[in-house]
Each structure stands twice: as structure tokens, then as C-alpha cells.
Amino acid sequence: MSRHAITLIPGDGIGPEVTDATVRILEAAGQRTGTEFAWEPYEAGADAFAKTGEYIPKALYESVGRTGVALKGPVTTPIGEGFKSINVTLRKQFDLFANVRPIRNLPGLATKYPDVDLVIVRENTEGLYVGLEQEVVPGVCTSLKVITEKGSTRVAKFAFAYAQKHGRKKVHAIHKANIMKLTDGLFLRCARTVAAGYPEIAYAEHIVDNTCMQLVTNPYQYDVMVMENLYGDILSDLCAGFVGGLGLVPGANLGEHAAIFEAVHGSAPDIAGQDKANPTALLQSAVLMLEHLQEAELAGRVEAALERVYAEGRVLTRDVGGQAGTRAFRDAVIAALA
């Protein structure tokens, strides 16, 4: 019998629905392996502010600091105004320096790119996302890009260690050092230094704009890709399109002392509360969480049940060509656990 305390952030929009479905599936799977979960639920974002006066309540910070792991649904981020991204704030607070997004096809879903299997490792705390912006004079704004040797080296080490652990053969460093010679140049130098310590793993470099073209013409040339923050944000969304969209791919934010696993799609308020949302992205993120918690057997059971539902194709949500609702899909995955 094992027991895990986990901070739970349902989010808003469709967040509570996909979170509830994921939690129920994990608990059903846990009953079969003797695994228990102690969920510590907290709101974040506009809903939390309306109730507590804080966009991220202090109690949420304390919970993550205590449990060391969180499962998070989508939280709406205002565009061009309002509060800062909850995702970015949490990543900075807990120094979750590595964002990992595996991109892999689910069985039974026809796409233009079958058998894609690549991993994006994104530096999570630096780059333009440090949020150092100012209006110099009316009509002129600046945004400061911060790249450090420490940040670049540790994310490169993470990428190569990940490749080694998971039997991956190649790591590409993605950059724009031909133009940003100091910042991206530093990132590349750090990646090259780390690569020298892993001679069994092939190392290559691609300029980010060329990478976009290379991806859509031949994504199979890539295995593990490591890059700074903004590039990772863009390319991970692009790659999600290969396998069916953001509603299907997981996300993990990892640091030395904490980890947050989240769905990378939006909160879709237009379908909130209508039993239409697909919980696959958050469920796949929960699989990564189980692996992080060293619950490999349980992670395998959940992943196998999810893939069985997709392979059979009888109970799928509308976004992937089916007619089922969130609850019906949840129940199908639970039934597949058997």
C-alpha cells in the first residue's frame, strides 16, 4: 500500500470537469494496485481572487511546498492586461526549470503524421518570459531577454539525462544564435559543453525558424529537442498538431524540489459545464506524475486503459470525432482498467 499527498488545482472553464474525470480514473486505478491519493484542492486565478483576494492563495503555495507535487487543470490567463500567468508564476516560485512535453500519437486516431514520437524539453524560468517589460516612452516598450549559464546548463543536463534514461538517441539544441549572438550563443555553448559528456547520444543544432520548416516536412528526424522558453512554448504547440492537438498532449514542469503536471490547453469557457471536454491531456499529464512518483505499474495501467479506449474508438469525445461526453469517456477509461 502506498499513499501520496498531491496538491490539486482544478482551474477554471473546463478545468474542474477534466480534473474530476482524471481524479476519478486515478482513484479507480489506485484501488487495483493498493495506491491511495490524498488530494489537497485549491483554486487559482480569477476565481481564487474573488474568494480570497489572492490570485494564488498562500495556502496553495504552502501545499505545493509540502507535497512537492501538483496536478493542475487549465487556468485562464488574461490577454494584454490583468494578472500575470498563473502557470509562469508557479514555475518561478518553485524553480520548475524544465518543461517536458512528450509528443506521441494515440492509437486509432488518424493524422497526417503517424508514429510521431518526440520530446520537447523547454527551459522554463528564463528568456523573455522573465516578464521584465517597461514602457520607455509612450508608444515604445521593451522586453528584456535573460539567458544565464546556470539556467542553460541545467536544462541541457536535464535533456541529456532524460534521453539517456529513456533510451533516446539524439538531442537537438534549438536556437537563434545567428542573430542573438550573446543570449542564444551562451545557450548553445552550454549545450555543447553538456553534450560532450554524453558521447553515446548524438547532438545537433537547428535554428528555430528552420526547425519549424523541418518539423512540418519531416518530424521523424527529431528525438529530444532542448530550447529556451519562448521557442519551447511555440514549438510544443506546433508539435501537438501532429498528434491531434493540445487536448491530447501532456505537460510536466520539473524542479529539484517540486513538480507540477498540467494540461497545456486552454480553459475553453465556451464549453464549460456542458460535458463536452476531453480529459485526455490532463490524464496523460497524470501518467507522467505517476511515473515521477515512482508508481510505474499504476502509470502503465492508466496509459494502457486510455490507449485501449482510443484504439476501440467507440467512446470518444467530439474533438476527436466521437459523440461521447466527458463523463462517458471517463467511465470508458475506468471500465478499460479492468
Domain-ending residue, one of 211, 241, 271: 241
**Distance separating alpha carbons of residues 58 and 183, to the nearest angstrom:** 34
pLDDT digits (tens, 9 = 90+) for 311-325: 999 999 999 999 999
| 255 and 236 assigned to the same domain | no
**DSSP code string of 115-178:** T-EEEEEEE-SSEEEEEEEEEEETTEEEEEEE--HHHHHHHHHHHHHHHHHTT--EEEEEE-TT
Q: Is residue 237 part of a domain?
A: yes
Q: What is the DSSP string of 278-302?
A: --HHHHHHHHHHHHHTT-HHHHHHH
Phi-psi region at 111: left, alpha or beta (left = phi > 0; alpha = psi -120 to 50): beta
- Asked, for residue 234, whether it belongs to a domain, the answer is yes
Summarised one tens digit per residue, pLDDT across range 169-227 is: 999 999 999 999 999 999 999 999 999 999 999 999 999 999 999 999 999 999 999 99
In a domain, 217, yes or no: yes
Per the listing, cell 493524422 goes with 111
Active site residues: 129, 176, 209, 233, 237
Q: Is residue 111 part of a domain?
A: no
CB-based burial label for 296 (10 Å; 0-12, 13-18, 19+): exposed
Same domain, 324 and 260: yes
174 and 226 in one domain? yes
Q: Look at residues 24, 8, 12, 104 and name the one whose alpha carbon lies nearest to residue 326.
A: 24
Task: Among 193, 217, 241, give the residue marking a domain's end.
Answer: 241
Q: Are residues 132 and 215 in the same domain?
A: yes
Q: Which of 215, 241, 267 is the last residue of a domain?
A: 241
Q: What is the pLDDT at residue 82?
A: 53
Q: For residue 296, what is the domain's CATH number?
A: 3.40.718.10
Identify whether 112 is part of a domain. Answer: no
CB atoms near residue 58 (< 10 Å): 9
Torsional sign, CA 183, 188, 189, 194? positive
* Residues of the domain holding 250: 1-99+246-338
List b or e across 224-257, with b for residues whose CB sees 16 or more CB atoms inside 10 angstroms: bbbbbbbbbbebbbebbbbbbbbbbbbbbbbbee
Tell me the whole-structure pTM to 2 decimals. Answer: 0.94
Q: What is the pLDDT of residues 22-72, one digit of tens each?
A: 999 999 999 988 999 999 999 988 778 888 888 899 999 999 999 999 999
Identify whether residues 143 and 163 lie together within a single domain: yes
Same domain flag for 173 and 230: yes
What's the burial of 34, exposed, middle or buried (CB within 10 Å: 0-12/13-18/19+)?
exposed
For residue 84, being part of any structural domain is answered with: yes
Q: Is residue 215 part of a domain?
A: yes
146-155: average pLDDT? 98
For the record, the C-alpha cell of 44 comes out as: 487559482
Q: How many domains does the chain have?
A: 2
- pLDDT 10s digits, 155-185: 999 999 999 999 999 999 999 999 999 999 9
